[in-house]
């Protein structure tokens, strides 16, 4: 049989030499049209008149390549792809692989031009004698052209046209092949063919196929492995080893055909072929997971994914940007700090279980750059509701794959504090407030459109037990006194407070406009941890706001690097930021976090407990790192509040900002900053902000009686249960103070037990 095949090949060559170039057209048309003769009714002469076989330039769009995400240390944590492909140079492919693919697909590849006349004529003879299409006559160059056309197709119709069994399609393919042969060397064509081909099991290109099938790079392929991949190219949908036992058997049979052909051509010995045939298929089915669901850091991954899709730095339209992510072959270096990420994850696990319905979420942001170092949440990302997974970004806003967020509560009070300081108020400026606050008139509060939004008939309270009293910017902040901040907001102006918040990057998690109601300062707007962290990082950076960033560098498929710099601007007087920092530093020693304590270095922050205990927060910062932690129930905060709940195996009568969010913040920041030399805050300018002014100074205390006057040991009537909130805005901020030791220490009947901090 082998001798007969060689005689036939020699005869074909002799016939072609005798016929000369004039026979070429007839042979080509016959090769294409013969299987359809009698059906389409096209004659060889009619087709010959239409040929005009001249080279025609082939448009070769870049191949779809996977995009890889790297952390700040350069380690991969996620990848995206439309086609799992990693293109390689020809010298990165084992020689035996090159030999195998040429042997089975195009024996005379290095000898013929764009059109293998001898191979085509042989196909004609076999097809005629076999009564159908027994053997194709396409060269590797022609196959490459067809794959390029399929790859470039945008629609199903275009894909079908690229592989349609028509004479016109085949002739166009030949014209393109002529141009390709003129443009590239044989080695370059082979390299491109190996990288564009599909091998089955979701693997595009020889490198991805080698890793998918055998868990090794293409440079390390053995004889039997190379023969397997060479055999898979012909009909990968039929021989896909991932499709089951029958498909694997077909692939094994095809592999052995390749080995026989290599021996027949003298590329290997018969003994080598027989030994290779004894090998098992060896398909290892190495997964190539893509997308954020399989990433170790899914919430950070989601943020990066959506940042690329929404950021014009990566394309003019969203469609272009999404295509780049899936096909662009980018290597993207991110701001993700593995140490900070692990610190956040560990701290969250200490206080909240993955099985809990309420969820804790945290973001860490670097002041002065906006770099997001960590994004973590207590619940796993995914679509399995039985496993309590969640399918959106709990840490980011809706623009970055997030949800509606949670009301921020008293973490909004610093924006009113900043507005007051910016207007010239001093640390000890203040005023008396009662146990409840009512707006004097509708016009006492005006939104930024000038609308009167005051509600004289609505009372914001501290607590039924807690009296009012005189509070200053300092004591009112440390005690988180609702009535004081309502009065302060009235004094500085609602719109000025809103503008201050916006300057620090505050925007609603759902992307809707901020609710500008009279209780804005109590945190009635739903927020996400990234946005709140970035706002507090602005205070830490002495008034420099930086847009949150997650990408520092991208490298395209050609190795071209693009660096991305922080986008920052000064939005606040440095000394105003210093004064607010000075006040907020006392939260750990004299304020609502005093039972939790500080972190052993300069730090400042603010608790946030919403009205009716629908959510709880802590946001804080050092000069080196800012962070915000939220706790709430994604099923709906108002329908599922944080009263009488068990979280992390502990029962809480009420969840305050300092109950869970505060300790998570403390533990995570200690470990995230471990090894980082402490940096000090800039001292407050006491000449500018020290003391008090005129009628805003505290009234002189009345003369002491012989028995003394105990005064108000709670510093101005804080509200341990939460304030009145906003009936139109859906609640708002409560007062964040948990029961103090003076009020009986821990709550009875199970109550709150603040767990120890574990560094």
Query: Is pLDDT of 566 > 90?
Result: yes
Average pLDDT over residues 255-269: 96
Q: What is the pLDDT of residues 210-247, one digit of tens each?
A: 999 999 999 999 999 999 999 999 989 899 998 889 99
Local confidence band at 704 (pLDDT 50, 70, 90 cut-offs): low
Q: What is the pLDDT of residues 428-473, one digit of tens each?
A: 999 999 889 999 999 999 999 999 999 998 999 885 444 578 999 9
Q: Which residue has the higher pLDDT, 229 or 165?
A: 229
> Which residue from 328, 392, 333, 304 is spatially nearest to 82, judged by alpha carbons?
328
Local confidence band at 82 (pLDDT 50, 70, 90 cut-offs): confident
Query: Is pLDDT of 56 > 90?
Result: no
Average pLDDT over residues 244-267: 94
Size (the chain), residues: 759
Q: pLDDT at position 75, please?
A: 96
Q: pLDDT at position 289, please?
A: 77
Distances in Å between the Cα of 484 and the Cα atoms of 16, 401, 480, 500, 731 are: 100, 37, 8, 19, 18
Q: What is the pLDDT of residues 484-493, one digit of tens each?
A: 999 999 999 9
Distance CA 444, CA 452 (A): 7
What pTM was computed for the model?
Answer: 0.77
> Which residue from 654, 647, 629, 593 is spatially nearest to 406, judged by alpha carbons?
629
Distance CA 361, CA 300 (A): 12
Strands 626-632 and 643-647 come out as: unpaired
With a pLDDT cut of 90, the percent of the chain lying above it is 61
Question: Which H or E element spans position 437?
Answer: strand 436-437
Local confidence band at 343 (pLDDT 50, 70, 90 cut-offs): very high
Q: pLDDT at position 636, please?
A: 83
- Around Cβ 164, how many Cβ atoms within 10 Å? 11
Strands 604-610 and 733-734 come out as: antiparallel
Which residue has 């709150």 as its token pair? 752
Local confidence band at 759 (pLDDT 50, 70, 90 cut-offs): very low
Query: Is pLDDT of 36 > 60?
Result: no
Q: What is the pLDDT of residues 386-435, one digit of tens each?
A: 889 888 899 999 999 888 899 999 999 999 999 999 999 999 999 999 88
Identify the structural domains of the chain with CATH numbers, from first to last.
2-51+83-277 (1.10.3810.10), 406-545+566-700+710-743 (3.40.710.10)
Mean pLDDT rounded to a whole number for the chain = 84
Distance CA 366, CA 162 (A): 51
> Which residue from 349, 369, 372 is spatially nearest to 301, judged by alpha carbons?
372
Distance CA 79, CA 40 (A): 48
Q: pLDDT at position 639, please?
A: 84
């Amino acid at each position: 049989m082998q001798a007969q095949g060689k005689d036939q090949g020699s005869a074909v060559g002799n016939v072609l030499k005798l016929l000369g170039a004039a026979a070429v057209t007839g042979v080509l048309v016959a090769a294409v049209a013969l299987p359809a003769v009698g059906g389409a009714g096209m004659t060889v002469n009619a087709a010959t008149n239409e040929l005009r076989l001249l080279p025609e330039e082939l448009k070769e769009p870049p191949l779809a390549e996977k995009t890889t995400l790297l952390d700040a240390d350069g380690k991969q944590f996620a990848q995206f792809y439309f086609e799992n492909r990693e293109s390689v140079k020809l010298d990165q492919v084992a020689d035996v692989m090159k030999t195998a693919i040429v042997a089975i697909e195009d024996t005379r590849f290095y000898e013929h031009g764009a059109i293998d006349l001898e191979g085509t004529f042989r196909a004609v003879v076999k097809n005629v004698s076999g009564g159908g299409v027994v053997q194709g006559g396409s060269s590797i160059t022609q196959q490459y052209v067809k794959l390029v056309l399929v790859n470039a197709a945008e629609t199903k119709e275009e894909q079908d046209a690229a592989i349609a069994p028509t004479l016109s399609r085949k002739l166009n393919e030949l014209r393109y092949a002529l141009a390709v042969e003129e443009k590239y060397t044989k080695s370059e064509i082979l390299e491109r063919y190996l990288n564009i081909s599909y091998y089955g099991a979701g693997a595009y290109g020889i490198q991805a196929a080698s890793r998918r099938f055998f868990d090794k790079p293409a440079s390390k392929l053995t004889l039997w492995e190379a023969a397997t991949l060479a055999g898979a190219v012909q009909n990968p949908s039929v021989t896909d080893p991932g499709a089951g036992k029958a498909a694997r058997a077909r692939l094994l049979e095809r592999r052995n055909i390749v080995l026989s052909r290599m021996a027949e051509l003298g590329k290997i010995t018969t003994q080598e072929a027989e030994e290779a045939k004894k090998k098992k298929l060896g398909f290892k089915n190495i997964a190539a997971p893509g997308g954020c669901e399989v990433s170790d850091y899914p919430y950070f991954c989601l943020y990066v994914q959506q940042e690329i899709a929404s950021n014009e730095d990566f394309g003019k339209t969203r469609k272009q940007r999404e295509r780049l992510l899936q096909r662009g072959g980018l290597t993207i270096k991110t701001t993700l700090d593995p140490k900070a990420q692990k610190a956040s994850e560990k701290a969250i696990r200490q206080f909240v279980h993955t099985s809990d319905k309420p969820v804790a979420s945290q973001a860490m942001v670097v002041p002065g750059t906006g770099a997001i170092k960590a994004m973590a949440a207590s619940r796993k990302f995914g679509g399995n509701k039985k496993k309590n997974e969640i399918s959106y970004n709990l840490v980011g806003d809706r623009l970055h794959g997030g949800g509606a967020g949670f009301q921020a509560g008293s973490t909004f009070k610093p924006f009113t504090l900043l507005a007051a300081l910016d207007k010239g108020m001093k640390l000890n400026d203040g005023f008396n407030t009662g146990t409840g606050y009512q707006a004097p008139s509708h016009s006492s509060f005006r939104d930024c459109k000038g609308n009167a939004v005051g509600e004289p008939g609505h009372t914001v309270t501290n607590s039924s037990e807690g009296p009012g009293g005189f509070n200053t910017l300092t004591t009112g902040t440390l005690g988180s006194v609702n009535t004081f901040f309502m009065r302060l907001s009235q004094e500085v102006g609602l719109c000025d407070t809103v503008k201050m918040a916006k300057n620090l990057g505050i925007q609603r998690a759902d992307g809707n406009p901020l609710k500008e109601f009279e209780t804005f300062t109590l945190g009635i707007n739903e927020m996400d941890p990234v946005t709140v962290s970035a706002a507090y990082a602005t205070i830490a950076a002495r008034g420099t706001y930086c847009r949150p960033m997650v990408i520092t560098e991208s490298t395209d498929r050609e190795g071209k690097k693009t660096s991305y710099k922080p986008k920052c601007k000064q939005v606040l007087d440095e000394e105003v930021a210093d004064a607010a920092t000075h006040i907020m530093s006392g939260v750990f020693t004299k304020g609502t976090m005093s039972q939790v304590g500080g972190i052993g270095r300069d730090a400042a922050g603010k608790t946030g407990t919403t009205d009716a205990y629908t959510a709880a927060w802590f946001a804080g910062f050092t000069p080196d790192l800012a962070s915000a932690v939220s706790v709430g129930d994604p099923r709906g905060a108002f329908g599922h509040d944080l009263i009488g709940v068990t979280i992390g195996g502990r029962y809480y009568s009420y969840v305050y900002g300092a109950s869970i969010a505060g300790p998570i913040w403390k533990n995570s920041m200690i470990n995230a900053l471990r090894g980082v030399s402490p940096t000090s805050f800039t001292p407050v300018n006491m000449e500018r902000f020290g003391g008090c002014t005129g009628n805003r100074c505290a009234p002189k205390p009345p003369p002491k009686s012989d028995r003394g006057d105990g005064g108000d040991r709670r510093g101005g009537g804080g509200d341990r249960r939460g304030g009145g909130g906003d009936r139109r805005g859906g609640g708002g901020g409560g007062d964040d103070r948990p029961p103090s030791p003076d009020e009986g220490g821990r709550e009875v009947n199970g109550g709150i037990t603040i767990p120890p901090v574990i560094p």
